[in-house]
Structure formats: structure tokens, C-alpha cells
Amino acid sequence: MYFMFVRALHQSRVSLFLILPEKTLFLDLDETLVKTHVSGSGKPSPSYQYDFVIKEYHVKKRPGIDKLLQVATDYGYEIVIFTAGRSDYASPIIKRLDPKGLITHWLYRDSCSDSVHCIKDLAATGRSLDKCVIVDDKWSRVLQTENVIRIREFTGDMKDSELTRLLCFFKIEREYKDLRDAVRHVNYQLGYLKKRMSIWCWL
């Protein structure tokens, strides 16, 4: 698995031999950053307008992407796309999403630990688990669920504000030594986790 990530690094923009960044933000692609409609798929055309078309793929950007990439960069995060999509599909889309070149690495389906269920294993990326987070609408497909900032599936709705909402993570993350604690805080704040009632308060 680590070998696969190393191979992916060689395909990306930054050399493997650079010093590892202090913090890493992994971003899922489909239904997290974009909604893609395949022309000729037989499905009814969605009502929203596309932002761009690549081959047979009609792509809608989720509102707030540009701001998220810039804020994460300003806070010193290495940004890595980690998608279960194949490189021939995802790579041209990522390039269109990132004209400023803020995304440094791209990981595709062949970097998932299970080619059938496309499980994402952050430990296999060589990043320290207390210093990385992932934003993903399919949080059960990330092996380290405690690292997942949960987000609702993007359906193409232009009123969607999920990416803007999760910017609150960057306001509180410096309060935590372990980013997994900041992730738990934000997931509570955004309503994705319910606080457990403490047993001690009944004693």
C-alpha cells in the first residue's frame, strides 16, 4: 500500500523527497467536491447547470471549493485528493478544480486498500494520523473514521453550504494537539455526531 502511495506521489506535483508537511487535508472528490453526470447514462438530466464538461462527464462544482482550498493552504495544510475514482476520470476534473495549483497530491482508486469496496486507509499514506483529516461523504469507507470530517452528499444544489460550514474546523483546530479531537469537535458542532450523555452525571 505504501508503495502505491509512493507511486502516486511520483505522478503528482511534489517530489517524494520533500520534508513531510505538518498537517494534511485529504479531500474526497465525488459528491464531496463535485457532482458528475455522465451523458448518455440513461438518467434524466439534472436541473442544475454544469460548470464544465470533460469527455462525457458533466461536472458541477460544489459551492465553496475555492475558499476551502485557499483557507486550508493559508493554515499550512498539505492538500491531497483521495478519490475512489480512476485516474483517467478524476485527473482532468481535479486540474479544472484547482487552477492555482494548491492541491499537491492526487490519490486514485489504485491507492484504496480494497479494490471492490474502495476503502481508504490513511495510515498507508505515510502521514501521521494525529496530523491529518479527511473530508468525505462516505465516511464508512475510510478505515480511520475518527479522522473523517463528515459532510453530506452533494447533489448539485447551488444552495449547498456544507463546504462553507466546515470552515469552522480551521478556527478551532489549533486548540488541539491531536487533530482527531478537532474532528470530533467539528462533527458535533455540525450535527453529525450526537453527544453521549456522560455516565458520571448520573452518579
What residues are annotated to the active site?
Answer: 28, 30
Q: Does 121 bind Mg ion (CB under 5 A)?
A: no
Minimum CB distance to Mg ion smaller for 138 or for 185: 138
Separation in Å, CA 70 to CA 22, 74, 77, 161, 172:
17, 6, 10, 16, 17
Residues 43-72 that bind Mg ion (CB under 5 A): none
Among 5, 9, 25, 28, binds Mg ion (CB under 5 A): 28
The 8-class DSSP code of residue 122 comes to G
Which grid coordinates are listed for 108?
486514485
Separation in Å, CA 55 to CA 58, 73, 88, 158, 159:
8, 30, 11, 23, 27
Tell me the site size for Mg ion, rule CB under 5 A: 6
Least CB distance from residue 201 to Mg ion, whole Å?
38
Please report how many Cα atoms fall inside a 13 Å half-sphere around the Cα of residue 202, on the Cβ side: 4
Least CB distance from residue 76 to Mg ion, whole Å?
25
Among 66, 121, 137, 157, binds Mg ion (CB under 5 A): 137
Minimum CB distance to Mg ion smaller for 36 or for 104: 36
Among 31, 98, 162, 173, binds Mg ion (CB under 5 A): 31
Binding mask 180-199 for Mg ion (x = CB under 5 A): --------------------
Is 54 exposed, middle or buried, given 0-12, 13-18 or 19+ CB atoms closer than 10 A?
middle
Decide: 125 and 93 in contact? Cβ < 8 Å.
no
Residues that bind Mg ion (CB under 5 A): 28, 30-32, 137-138
